[in-house]
C-alpha cells in the first residue's frame, strides 16, 4: 500500500540522450533528510554527478522538484525548485518558483523529475497521472514563454495542464536564462534555463488529478488554522496584499540603501516615480497569487491596453534606480519582456547597468546610457535573442565587464549580480551576500527582514555583533523552507516550529523547529561542499571592491562600507567550518554528510 | 523650527505624503507623533497599539536612520530634520 505522507511518491529519471525514462519510488531517507524541493535537487545532484562537469554539456543534471507542503492547501504552500550546476557561476544552484506548476507535478504523480544527457531534437516532457513521456517540441522551439505555454495547452486541448518552459533566452543558452512556469513565474537566477536549452528541453507539461493525502489530516487542519491566523494578522503580509513587493522601492530608498546607477550611489532621486505607491495609482489593475495563497502579492498591470503580470520589486529597482530611469512605463515593459523571453529579471537590468557605467566612464563607446529609457525594452529583447548589443550582455555583467578589462564594475558575488539592497548599510545582509552558496542573492538569507523591516525583531543594520548567528539561522531556515514547499514570504509571520508542525502533520515525520533547521543546515553544507569541489575558496566569500572601499555618500548610512571582518571569521566559526571556510569532519558527521 | 515629514504606503490614505511642519525646539519624535495624530486622527490606529507603543514592523526614520537605534520615541529633533513614516510593509 502506498504511504500516505503528502508526497506523490515517484521520481522520473529522464535520460535525454537515450530517450528513456525510468520511474522510481521516492526514497524514504531522501524525504526524511532532505524533505523536497531544494533538498531533493541538492542531494540528487551531489550523489549522481561529478561537480567538475561542464554545466552546458550533456553531463550536467537538472532536477525539477516539488515538495511535501506544496499543493496541500496550506496557505503559501506553492513552490517547486529547479536545481542544477549553474552555467553562470558553477555553483550547485537551486531556484524557487511559485504559481501552480509545483502543485500540478504532484497531481501528475511526481515529486521530482531528473534530466540527464541531451536530446537530439527539441523535446518536452509530458507528465500525466504517473506516466512520463518525451514528446517532440520542434514546433515550439523559437516561441516565447507565453506563446509556448499557450500553444502547448491549446494543442493538448487540456486547460488544466500546467507548463514550465524556457523562452528564447534558454534556447540561446543565455547565462541569464530562467525556467518559467504559469507564463510569468520564474525560477529566475543562476542560468538554469540555459541548461535546459543545452539539453534541448523546451518544456515540462504536468496534468492529472491524482489524489495526495497527508499523514495526519486533523492535525494538519489545526496547524493550518493556526498559521492562517498568523499570516492574516501579520502587518507585512497585509502590506504585500495591498502593494506587492514593489512597496520596497521607497522603503529601501529612504533607508539610503537603494543601489543606484550600478551601485555608484545608494539613493535615487526619482524613486517615487517608479515606486509601488505610484504603480498602485497608475498601471495597477488588481492583484493575484500562487496556488492556495491568501496573501496574493502578485501585481496585474495594464499598459497601453496590454495586460501583464508584474513587475516585482527587483525589476522595479533594476530597470529603475539601477539604470537611473524614472519612467515607470519603460520599467514595466522591460520587466515583462524579461518574462516573455525567459530572462532573469535581476541579472538582466544589472548587466545593462554595468554597461551604462562603462559607457559613462568612456570604457566603451556604444551602448545604453544612465537615465535614458529609450531603447531599453529593445535591448532586453536583443539580450533574449542573443542579438546585436544584447548578445554582449546576455551572459551577465561579469563576462561583459571582464571582456572589456573592468571586472570590478560587475556588481556581483561569484559572478552572480547583487540584487536591490546596498550592503554598505546592512552588515548582516552583506554577510549573507558574501557567503551565499549560489553567489549574489537575496533569497538565500534575507537579512533585510530584521535589519530594515524589523521582522522577527529589529536589528541595528550597522552593527556586526550577533550577525553571524542570525545570518546562519536565516540561511538554514530558508533552505528548509525551500525544501518544504512554502513561499519564503510566509517567514515574515511564521517561525521554524510552525514549519516543523506543518511538515510533521503532512509527512508523518516527527520533527520540531530544531530538526527542521538541521535539514536546512544539511542542504546548505551540501551545496557548500559542491562549491568547494568546483574550486571556490574563502577569497570568493567577499563583495565587489566598491562595497568594501568606497563609503556611501549620503543618507543614514553615509560614510559606511561593508566590513568583511570580523563578520566572515565569526560566520565560519558559527557554522562549524575551519578558518578557510571548509566544513570540518565533525560538522559533516553531525549532519550525516561524511 | 521646521522639519519635513514623508509618509508611505497605506499611511497615505490617512495623511499627506510629504509636507513641512513647525515644531518647538528640542521636540521629540513622540511630540511630533502627537501633533500628527491630532492633525490626522486615523493615523493613530495605523501606527500605535492601544497601550501607546508602536505596532510591530512600524518603522520611523530620522534622517534615514531607524529611531529604534537612536532613542526610539524619545529621539530629539533638530531644525531641517527629515522624518519618514512607514506602516508595516515589506517584500523581497
Ligand atoms: S506571497 Fe506572493 S509569491 Fe508567495 S505564494 Fe503568495 S502570491 Fe505567491
Residue A1 has pLDDT above 70, yes or no: no
pLDDT digits (tens, 9 = 90+) for A274-288: 999 999 999 999 999
Closest by alpha carbon to A117, among A173, A53, A169, A179? A53
pLDDT digits (tens, 9 = 90+) for A350-376: 999 999 999 999 999 999 999 999 999
How do A62-65 and B59-62 pair as beta strands? Answer: unpaired
Instruction: Give the model's pLDDT for residue A3.
Output: 87
Ligand 1 is surrounded, with C-beta below 6 A, by A 76, 78, 98, 240, 289-290, 293, 295-298, 487, 489
Same-domain check for residues A548 and A582: yes
Nearest 10 degrees: CA dihedral of A486, A492, A494, A495?
A: 100
What is the strand order of the sheet A131-136 is part of? A131-136, A123-128, A201-207, A162-165, A179-181, A185-187
Of A236, A250, A256, the CB nearest to B88: A236
Please state, as a whole number, how many other Cβ atoms lie within 10 Å of the Cβ of residue A535: 10
> Nearest C-alpha of chain B: how many angstroms from A452?
8
Q: Does residue A131 form part of some domain? A: yes
CB contact under 8 A, A245 and B59: no
Same-domain check for residues A471 and A558: yes
Same-domain check for residues A57 and A196: yes
Q: By the 8 A CB rule, do A576 and A440 touch?
A: no
Classify residue B76 as left (phi > 0), alpha (psi -120 to 50) or beta.
beta
Of B10, B12, B63, the CB nearest to A239: B10
Q: Name the pLDDT band for B92 (thresholds 50, 70, 90).
A: confident
Q: Does residue A103 form part of some domain? A: yes
Atom of ligand 1 nearest to the CA of A79: 5
Same-domain check for residues A393 and A474: no
Same-domain check for residues A462 and A487: yes
Of A244, A255, A446, the CB nearest to B64: A255
Of B8, B57, B64, the CB nearest to A250: B8
Same-domain check for residues A66 and A125: yes
Which residues from A are below 8 Å from B58, CB to CB? Answer: 235
Question: What are chain B's domains?
Answer: 2-86 (3.10.20.30)
For residue A386, give the C-alpha cell: 542573443
> Nearest C-alpha of chain B: how many angstroms from A242?
8
Q: Name the pLDDT band for A318 (thresholds 50, 70, 90).
A: very high
User: What is the rounded average pLDDT of the residues B2-11?
Assistant: 96
Same-domain check for residues A131 and A33: yes
The Cα-based distances of A576 to A92, A106, A472, B23 in angstroms read: 21, 37, 11, 53
Nearest 10 degrees: CA dihedral of A434, A435, A440, A444?
A: -140
pLDDT digits (tens, 9 = 90+) for A121-162: 999 999 999 999 999 999 999 999 999 999 999 999 999 999
| Enclosing domain of residue A555 | 423-492+512-591
Measured in Å, residue A523 CA sits from the centre of ligand 1 at 23
Say how many domains are in chain A: 3
Last residue within a domain, chosen from A207, A235, A264: A207
Residue B91 has pLDDT above 90, yes or no: no
Instruction: Give the model's pLDDT for residue A500.
Output: 98
The CATH number of residue A366's host domain is 1.10.569.10
E strands present in A474-552: none
Q: By the 8 A CB rule, do B35 and B21 touch?
A: yes
CB contact under 8 A, B10 and A460: no
d(CA A227, CA A72): 14
**For every residue of A137-158, which 3-state class applies, written as one string?**
CHHHCCCCHHHHHHHHHHHHCC
Same-domain check for residues A88 and A20: yes
Main-chain phi, psi angles of A498, to 5 degrees: -60, -45
Last residue within a domain, chosen from A417, A443, A463: A417
Q: Does residue A378 form part of some domain? A: yes
Atom of ligand 1 nearest to the CA of A237: 1
Closest by alpha carbon to A368, among A315, A322, A310, A304? A322
Q: By the 8 A CB rule, do A297 and B90 touch?
A: no
B90 → chain A, closest CA residue: A236
Sign for the CA dihedral angle at A46, A48, A52, A57 comes to: negative
The Cα-based distances of A152 to A108, A136, A147, A180 in angstroms read: 16, 11, 8, 14
Same-domain check for residues A390 and A483: no
Instruction: Give the model's pLDDT for residue A2.
Output: 73
The CATH number of residue A576's host domain is 1.10.599.10
Q: By the 8 A CB rule, do A428 and A568 touch?
A: no
Please state, as a whole number, how many other Cβ atoms lie within 10 Å of the Cβ of residue B20: 9
CB contact under 8 A, A453 and B9: no
Q: Does residue A366 form part of some domain? A: yes
For residue A313, give the C-alpha cell: 520589486
pLDDT above 90 covers a percentage of chain A that reads 98
Residues near B47 by beta carbon (within 8 Å), at least 6 away in sequence:
B11, B33, B54, B55, B58, B85, B87
Instruction: Give the model's pLDDT for residue B90.
Output: 85
Which residues from A are below 8 Å from B65, CB to CB? Answer: 556
Q: How many CB pairs under 8 A join A and B?
A: 105
Atom of ligand 1 nearest to the CA of A98: 8
Which residues from B are below 8 Å from A454, CB to CB? Answer: 56-57, 59, 66, 68
Q: Does residue A220 form part of some domain? A: no
pLDDT digits (tens, 9 = 90+) for A235-251: 999 999 998 999 999 99
pLDDT digits (tens, 9 = 90+) for A399-430: 999 999 999 999 999 999 999 999 999 999 99
A555 → chain B, closest CA residue: B64
CB contact under 8 A, B64 and A242: no
d(CA B40, CA A426): 33
The CATH number of residue A89's host domain is 3.60.9.10
Residues near B45 by beta carbon (within 8 Å), at least 6 away in sequence:
none
Q: Does residue A484 form part of some domain? A: yes
Residue nearest to atom 5 of ligand 1 (CA): A76
pLDDT digits (tens, 9 = 90+) for A19-70: 999 999 999 999 999 999 999 999 999 999 999 999 999 999 999 999 999 9
Residue whose entry in the numeric block shows the C-alpha cell 505624503? B17
Across A432-468, b (16+ Cβ under 10 Å) vs e yields bbbbbbbbbbbbbbbbbbbbbbbbeebbbbbebeebb
Is A540 within 8 Å of chain B by CB?
no
Which residues from A are below 8 Å from B63, CB to CB? Answer: 555-556
**Angle formed by the axes of helices A145-156 and A328-341, to 10°?**
50
Same-domain check for residues A35 and A66: yes
Q: Does residue A218 form part of some domain? A: no
d(CA A299, CA A376): 22
Same-domain check for residues A405 and A434: no
Last residue within a domain, chosen from A180, A207, A234: A207
Which residues from A are below 8 Å from B57, CB to CB? Answer: 235-236, 453-455
Closest by alpha carbon to A448, among A314, A332, A277, A553? A314
Same-domain check for residues A199 and A334: no
User: What is the rounded average pLDDT of the residues A205-210?
Assistant: 98
Q: Does residue A545 form part of some domain? A: yes
What length does chain A have?
A: 594
A307 three-state secondary structure: strand
**ipTM of this complex:** 0.97
Which residues from A are below 8 Å from B68, CB to CB? Answer: 454, 458, 460
pLDDT digits (tens, 9 = 90+) for A495-553: 999 999 999 999 999 999 999 999 999 999 999 999 999 999 999 999 999 999 999 99
Of B69, B87, B90, the CB nearest to A460: B69
**Angle formed by the axes of helices A564-575 and A467-484, to 10°?**
50
Name A486's bridge partners.
A77
Amino acid at each position: 500500500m502506498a504511504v500516505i505522507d503528502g508526497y506523490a511518491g515517484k521520481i522520473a529519471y529522464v535520460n535525454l540522450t537515450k530517450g528513456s525514462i525510468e520511474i522510481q519510488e521516492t526514497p524514504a531517507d531522501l524525504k526524511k533528510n532532505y524533505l523536497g524541493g531544494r533538498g531533493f535537487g541538492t542531494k540528487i545532484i551531489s550523489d549522481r554527478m561529478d561537480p567538475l562537469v561542464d554545466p552546458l554539456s550533456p553531463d550536467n543534471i537538472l532536477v525539477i522538484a516539488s515538495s511535501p507542503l506544496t499543493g496541500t492547501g496550506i496557505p503559501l504552500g506553492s513552490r517547486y525548485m529547479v536545481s542544477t550546476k549553474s552555467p553562470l557561476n558553477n555553483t550547485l544552484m537551486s531556484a524557487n518558483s511559485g504559481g501552480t506548476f509545483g502543485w500540478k507535478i504532484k497531481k501528475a504523480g511526481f515529486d521530482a523529475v531528473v534530466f540527464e544527457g541531451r536530446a537530439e531534437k527539441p523535446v518536452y516532457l509530458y507528465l500525466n497521472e504517473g506516466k512520463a513521456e518525451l514528446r517532440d517540441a520542434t514546433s515550439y522551439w523559437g516561441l516565447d514563454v507565453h506563446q509556448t505555454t499557450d500553444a502547448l495547452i491549446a494543442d493538448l486541448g487540456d486547460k488544466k495542464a500546467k507548463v514550465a518552459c524556457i523562452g528564447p533566452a534558454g534556447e540561446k543558452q543565455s547565462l541569464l536564462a530562467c525556467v518559467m512556469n504559469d507564463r510569468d513565474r520564474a525560477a529566475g537566477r543562476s542560468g538554469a534555463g540555459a541548461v535546459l536549452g543545452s539539453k534541448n528541453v523546451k518544456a515540462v507539461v504536468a496534468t492529472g488529478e491524482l489524489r495526495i493525502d497527508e499523514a495526519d489530516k486533523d492535525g494538519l487542519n489545526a496547524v493550518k488554522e493556526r498559521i492562517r491566523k498568523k499570516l492574516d494578522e501579520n502587518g507585512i503580509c497585509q502590506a504585500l496584499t495591498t502593494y506587492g513587493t514593489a512597496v520596497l522601492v521607497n522603503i529601501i530608498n529612504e533607508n539610503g540603501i537603494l543601489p543606484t546607477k550600478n551601485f555608484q550611489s545608494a539613493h535615487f532621486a526619482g524613486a517615487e516615480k517608479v515606486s509601488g505607491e505610484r504603480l498602485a495609482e497608475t498601471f495597477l489593475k488588481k492583484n493575484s497569487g500562487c496556488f492556495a495563497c491568501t496573501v496574493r502579492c502578485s501585481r496585474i498591470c495594464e499598459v497601453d491596453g496590454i495586460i501583464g503580470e508584474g513587475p516585482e520589486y527587483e525589476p522595479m529597482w533594476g530597470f529603475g534606480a539601477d539604470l537611473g530611469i524614472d519612467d515607470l512605463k519603460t520599467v514595466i515593459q522591460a520587466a515583462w519582456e524579461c518574462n516573455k523571453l525567459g530572462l532573469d529579471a535581476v541579472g538582466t537590468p544589472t548587466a545593462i547597468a554595468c554597461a551604462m557605467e562603462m559607457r559613462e566612464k568612456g570604457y566603451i563607446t556604444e551602448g545604453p546610457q544612465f537615465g535614458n529609457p529609450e531603447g531599453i525594452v529593445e535591448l532586453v529583447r536583443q539580450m533574449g535573442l542573443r542579438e546585436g548589443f544584447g548578445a554582449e550582455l546576455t551572459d551577465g555583467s561579469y563576462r561583459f565587464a571582464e571582456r572589456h578589462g573592468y571586472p570590478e564594475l560587475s556588481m556581483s558575488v561569484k559572478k552572480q549580480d547583487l540584487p536591490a539592497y546596498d550592503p554598505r548599510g546592512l552588515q548582516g545582509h552583506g554577510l549573507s551576500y558574501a557567503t551565499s552558496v549560489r553567489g549574489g542573492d537575496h533569497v538565500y538569507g534575507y537579512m533585510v527582514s530584521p535589519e530594515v523591516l524589523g521582522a522577527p525583531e529589529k536589528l541595528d543594520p550597522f552593527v556586526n555583533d550577533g550577525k553571524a548567528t542570525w545570518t546562519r539561522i536565516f540561511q538554514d531556515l530558508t533552505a528548509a523552507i525551500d525544501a518544504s514547499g512554502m513561499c519564503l514570504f510566509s517567514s515574515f509571520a511564521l517561525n521554524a516550529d510552525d514549519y516543523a508542525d506543518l511538515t510533521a502533520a503532512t509527512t508523518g515525520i516527527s520533527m520540531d523547529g530544531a530538526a527542521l533547521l538541521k535539514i536546512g543546515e544539511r542542504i546548505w553544507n551540501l551545496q557548500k561542499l559542491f562549491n568547494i569541489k568546483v574550486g571556490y575558496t574563502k577569497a570568493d566569500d567577499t563583495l565587489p571592491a566598491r562595497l568594501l572601499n568606497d563609503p556611501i555618500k549620503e543618507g543614514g548610512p553615509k560614510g559606511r562600507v561593508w566590513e568583511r571582518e570580523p563578520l566572515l571569521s565569526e560566520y565560519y566559526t558559527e557554522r562549524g567550518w575551519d578558518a578557510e571556510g571548509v566544513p570540518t569532519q565533525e560538522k559533516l558527521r553531525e549532519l550525516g554528510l561524511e | 523650527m521646521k522639519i519635513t515629514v514623508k509618509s508611505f504606503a497605506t499611511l497615505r490614505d490617512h495623511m499627506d505624503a510629504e509636507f513641512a511642519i513647525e515644531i518647538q525646539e528640542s521636540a521629540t519624535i513622540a511630540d511630533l507623533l502627537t501633533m500628527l495624530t491630532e492633525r490626522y486622527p486615523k493615523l493613530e490606529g495605523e501606527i500605535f497599539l492601544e497601550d501607546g507603543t508602536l505596532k510591530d514592523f512600524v518603522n520611523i526614520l530620522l534622517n534615514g536612520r531607524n529611531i529604534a537605534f537612536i532613542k526610539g520615541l524619545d529621539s530629539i529633533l533638530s531644525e531641517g530634520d527629515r522624518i519618514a513614516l512607514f506602516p508595516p510593509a515589506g517584500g523581497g
